[in-house]
Amino acid sequence: MVELKNTTATIKLNTGASIPVVGLGTWRSTEADDGYKAVRKALEVGYRHIDTAAIYQNEGQVGKAINDSGVPRNEIFVTTKLWCTQQHNPKEALEQSLKRLGLDYVDLYLMHWPVSLSPRTIKDGNLLTIPVREDGARDVEISDWNFIKTWELMQELPATGLTKAIGISNFSINNIKDLLASPGNKIVPAMNQVELHPLLPQQELIDFCHSKGIIIEAYSPLGSNNAPLLTQKTIIEVAKKNNVTPAQVVISWHVQRGYVVLPKSVNADRIVANLKTFTLSKEDFDAVSNISKVEGEKRIVVPDWSPFVPFV
């Protein structure tokens, strides 16, 4: 029998701060008080890392749960993200996030996508949306703005104390190379949060980021909505063999690969179980790693940012 334990391990960021390797994802934890209840449960059972984003529309619930939890603020690692319509003014966006969260600072502020969206068609002032042009396409700013300009502005944020660290999300190797090579680059991102799971193992991206001192975080680690990976044959076999759940197999596989993993759940029992991981045998680890080689790779989160193509 394998030993399942609450995962308390941390990884050091290039800022010197420690980040817990298992964090609670909160994308789609928005309905009613789903986000509030999930974060309260998570903090109660031992999670010390909560991931949200302005566009998830749940910062209010998430922050309230953090504040109501009784866990000292400095024991919780909190991440939120800059939405694409606010890339021209990340400081203002972060201040708004903190107001919604009811927090004085976050531990990590990420550029959500390497894409800027023009807010010009937004009439009601709510920037947390996806503006579209008259032809129905997303209003992507391609000629007059880019992620390098956004990063230059984000680099001013750690000195304000509003965030302890800054990072990026959904960045490919080529886009990171461009960012690091830009003349205005002074800070190496602490983090790159990307879609990552057994059907999208991203080994090359992980190796590249680690070589630059950038930690990787896996979003949609179970395959996103409804966790399609948990009905995959090999994962079920490994789960049965070890007397654990399929989710525990997948989350443990992520942990063993040496990065941060952000399983999302609003279900109390799953929140408890998802923090408990074990060490896979080499045979089981290799079997899970092999799934994408047999079934082919599959990216699930592919928004249309044309003409910008993020994953090249």
For the annotated catalytic residues, the residue numbers are: 56
Nearer to ligand A2P, 40 or 264 (CB): 264
- Please tell me whether residue 267 binds ligand A2P under the rule CB under 6 A: yes
User: Does 176 engage in binding with ligand A2P (CB under 6 A)?
Assistant: no
Any contact of residue 25 with ligand A2P (CB under 6 A)? yes
305: three-class secondary structure by DSSP: coil
* DSSP classification of residue 168: E
Task: Give the contact letters, 88-117, x = binds to ligand A2P (CB under 6 A), - = no.
Answer: ------------------------------
* One-character DSSP codes across 160-205: HTSBS-EEEES--HHHHHHHHHSTT--S--SEEEEE-BTTB--HHH
Which of 128/247 has CB closer to ligand A2P?
A: 247
Applying CB under 6 A, which of residues 265, 277, 288, 291 lies at the interface with ligand A2P? 265
Cα–Cα nearest to 1, from 281, 228, 292 = 281
Are 133 and 121 in contact, with CB atoms under 8 Å apart?
A: yes
Residue 100 structure tokens = 């919604």
Residue type at position 151: W
Work out whether 227 is an interface residue with ligand A2P (CB under 6 A): yes
Q: Which is nearer to ligand A2P, 58 or 220 (CB)?
A: 220
What phi and psi values does residue 17 have, to the nearest 5 degrees? -75, 155
CA distance 31 to 62: 12
CB–CB of 203/238 below 8 Å? no
- Feature table: binding site: 112
Which range in 51-59, 88-96, 270-278, 290-298 contacts ligand A2P by CB under 6 A? Answer: 270-278
User: Binding to ligand A2P (CB under 6 A): which residues in 271-310?
Assistant: 273-274
Cβ proximity to ligand A2P: between 15 and 220 the closer is 220
> What residues are designated binding site for substrate?
112
- Is the separation of the CB atoms in 284 and 256 below 8 Å? no
| Diameter over CA atoms, the chain | 60
Task: Please give the Cα distance from 23 to 271 (Å, whole number).
Answer: 10
243 binds ligand A2P (CB under 6 A): no
Shortest Cβ 164–ligand A2P spacing (Å) = 25
Residues that bind ligand A2P (CB under 6 A): 25, 220-227, 230, 245, 247, 263-267, 270, 273-274
